Chain A
Amino acid sequence: MIKNLLWFTLIVLFFIAPFVGAVDLSLSEILQGNTLNATIFYDLRLPRVLFAFFAGGILALSGLLFQTLFRNALMTPYTLGISSGAVLGAGIAIKLGLATLLFGIGAVSLFGFAGALLTVFLLIYLSQFLRASGQEALLLLGIALSLFYTSVLMVIFYLGSAIQNDMLIRFTMGSLSVIGWKYPILIAVVALLLLLFVYRYKFELQLMSVSDEQAKLKGVNTKKVTLLLLAVSSLAIGVLVSISGPIGFIGLIIPHIIQRLYPVNITQRILKTTLFGGLFLVTCDMLSRTIQTQSELPIGIITAIIGGPFFIYLIIANAKK
C-alpha cells in the first residue's frame, strides 16, 4: 500500500514537474504553441525533466552495481571519488580558460569526463595492490583521492579569477539545467545502454551477489565480469558527471530504499532501482526550481538535504524491527 502510494506520488510529480519553476506554465498556453511559455516548456523544462529522469536512473543503477560488486553498502561512484575526479577535470578546463567546443561538446565536459575516467583507471590499477578482502582499503583509497583532488582544486580556486571561481563553484554543486535536447538524448541513450548491459549480465550478477565462490563454481569469469560492469557503469557516470557535475546520495540511498521496500534478489531490483532513481531525481529537481531563493537551489544540495535524513530514518526503522 505504502509502496504503491509512493510510486503513484512520484509518477504524478513527474508529470507535474515540467509545469512548475520560476515561471509556472499551464497546459493551455503550451498547446497554443509559439508563445514564450511554450518555448520554455519544449526547450527548457521538458528536456530538463527527462535529463533528470535518466540521470537519476544512471546514478541509482551504478550505485546498485558498485554496492553489489564490492559487497559493501558504502561503495558508489560518488564515495569512491569518481565524481571528484570529474570536478577536478572540469576545474582544470575552467582555469585554463578552455571554453571552446570539441565535436559540439564543451571542453569543461570533456575534461570532466577525462577526470572521472582517469580516477576509475587509477582505482582499478591501485586495487591490484590490495588483498582480495581489501574492500575497506579501496574505500579509503577513494576517500584519499577525493581529498587530494579537493586540495588541488583549492589551488585552482586560489589562482582563479572571480568569474572562473563562480563557474567552478556552480559545477561542484551539480546542475540539471540543460538547454535543448542534445544532452537529454545523450544521457537517455547512455542510460538505456547501461540498463541493457546490466540485463545481459544479470544472472552473473545474481551469482556474484550470492558469493564469488558460487559464481566461479558455476563457470562465471568473475574477474572479467566485475571489471566489465565497473568499466561500463563508470563510463556512464563519467559522461553524466561531466555534464551535470557531481550529484551525491542518489547512488547511495536509492538501492537501499528499493531493497527495503522489495526484499527480493538483485535481478528483480535492477529495473525498480533505475526507475525509482529517475523519478526521485525529477522530484528533487522540481523542488530545486520551486523553492525560490535569488535563483534556484543547486540539485546536489537538495539531494543531500533530502537523502541524508531519509537514510538515517531507514537505518533506525530497520533496527526497530
Chain B
Amino acid sequence: MIKCAELSISFQNKNILKDVTLEVKNHLSILGANGSGKSSFAKALSGLIEYDGDITIDSQNIKTLTPNARAKLLSYIPTKLELYDKLITVEEFVLLGRFPYKESLFSYAKKDYDIVKEMLEFLSIAHLAKHTLAELSSGEQQLTLIAQALTQQSKIIIFDEPTANLDPKNSKIIAEHIKALKEEHTIILITHDLHLAAFIDSQVLFIKDKSAKLYDKEFFSDTMLEELYGVAFSNLAVRYD
C-alpha cells in the first residue's frame, strides 16, 4: 500500500505538485495533461528527485530506505532509454537488473544469469540476447526494459508512458504483459493512453493544477472524462480487449 502525506515536488523553484495526500490500495494508473507532474511523481517515488513530505510503502518511509533496499522494492521503466555506452548487449543490459542482489564484488552468480535467460524467454526476446540495444526497435527496447525490471524482482514496477513510442501492435503486446504482471507485482502506470489505463483497470490518480485526486472505475465514465479533460469521449474502454 502506497501512502503520500503532504507530498510537494518542485523543479527549479516551481511547484509541480503541492500538498498531495492520498492512499492507494494496490495498482495505480496516473493520468493528467502534459507537464502536469505525472513523471515527477513517479521519479519521486523511485528516488530520482527530491521532494517534501512523506511517501510510505507498506508503512515504510521510502526516504529512510538505502538505495539498495529501494532498488529491491521498486523498479522504474522509462519511456525511452538514453544510452551513453551503446555497445552493451540486451543480455548484459538485462543482467544489470540483478545489480541490487549481487553478492560478490567481482562477478554475478549463476542464478543471476539463469533469471536473465528466463525473463528473456518469458518476454519472447531471447533471440535478441546478443544484439546491442542501439540495434533494437522501440517495441523491442521496451520489452528489454521490462525484462530488466523483472529481473530486478521488485514488488512495485513503475511504467512511465510505456506505449508512447509504439505502434498499435506493439502497444497491445506491452499492454497484455503489463496486465499479466498485476498478478505478482504492484503496477504503477503513467500514461496518456486512456485505452491502456482502462485495460489495466486499476485505481486512477488524475493530476491537475498541482493537485492529485484518486478515482475508481467511475473515472472512465463518459461524463467524468468530459468533466476532467474538457472534451467529450464515448465508448472508450473496449479497445485492447
Contact yes or no, A218 B71, CB < 8 A = yes
Please name the residue on chain B nearest to A201 by beta carbon: B105
Stretch among B3-11, B93-101, B201-209 lining the A interface? B93-101
- Of A68, A211, A219, which is in contact with the most chain B CB atoms at under 10 Å from its CB? A219
- Judge whether A199 is part of the interface by a CB distance below 8 angstroms: yes
* B75 neighbours in A (Cβ, 8 Å): 217
Contact yes or no, B66 A219, CB < 8 A = yes
Contact yes or no, B67 A209, CB < 8 A = no
Alpha-carbon distance between A263 and B82 when the two chains are bound, in angstroms: 18
| CB interface residues, A 240-272, toward B, < 8 Å | 259, 263-266
- Judge whether B48 is part of the interface by a CB distance below 8 angstroms: yes
- Judge whether B46 is part of the interface by a CB distance below 8 angstroms: yes
Contact yes or no, B68 A219, CB < 8 A = yes
* A203 neighbours in B (Cβ, 8 Å): 96, 99, 102, 108
If A216-B67, A218-B71, A265-B88 touch, does A210 touch B83 (CB 8 Å cutoff)? yes
- Judge whether A9 is part of the interface by a CB distance below 8 angstroms: no
Cβ 8 A contact of A266, one of B47, B48, B85, B99: B85
Cβ 8 A contact of A213, one of B78, B85, B93: B78
* A202 neighbours in B (Cβ, 8 Å): 106
- Judge whether A206 is part of the interface by a CB distance below 8 angstroms: yes
Contact yes or no, A218 B99, CB < 8 A = yes
Contact yes or no, B106 A199, CB < 8 A = yes
- Judge whether B182 is part of the interface by a CB distance below 8 angstroms: no
If A218-B71, A266-B85 touch, does A210 touch B93 (CB 8 Å cutoff)? yes
Contact yes or no, A220 B67, CB < 8 A = yes
Cβ 8 A contact of B70, one of A210, A211, A214, A219: A219
* A265 neighbours in B (Cβ, 8 Å): 85, 87-89, 92
Tier of interface size on chain A: 20 to 34
- Judge whether A39 is part of the interface by a CB distance below 8 angstroms: no
Q: Nearest Cβ distance between residue A280 and chain B, in whole angstroms?
A: 21
Please name the residue on chain B nearest to A199 by beta carbon: B106
Contact yes or no, A210 B96, CB < 8 A = yes
Mask of A58-86 contacts with B, CB within 8 angstroms, 1/0: 00000000001001000000000000000
| CB interface residues, A 163-222, toward B, < 8 Å | 199-200, 202-203, 206-207, 209-211, 213-214, 216-221
Alpha-carbon distance between A103 and B85 when the two chains are bound, in angstroms: 43
Mask of B5-48 contacts with A, CB within 8 angstroms, 1/0: 00000000000000000000000000000000000000000111
- Of B48, B84, B96, which is in contact with the most chain A CB atoms at under 10 Å from its CB? B84
Q: Nearest Cβ distance between residue B58 and chain A, in whole angstroms?
A: 18
* New A-B pairs, 14, CB < 8 Å, besides A203-B102, A217-B47: A200-B105, A203-B99, A203-B108, A206-B92, A206-B96, A209-B85, A210-B84, A211-B81, A217-B48, A217-B75, A219-B100, A220-B99, A221-B67, A263-B132
Residues on B close to A: CB < 8 A?
46-48, 66-72, 75-76, 78, 81-85, 87-89, 92-93, 96-97, 99-100, 102, 105-106, 108, 132, 152
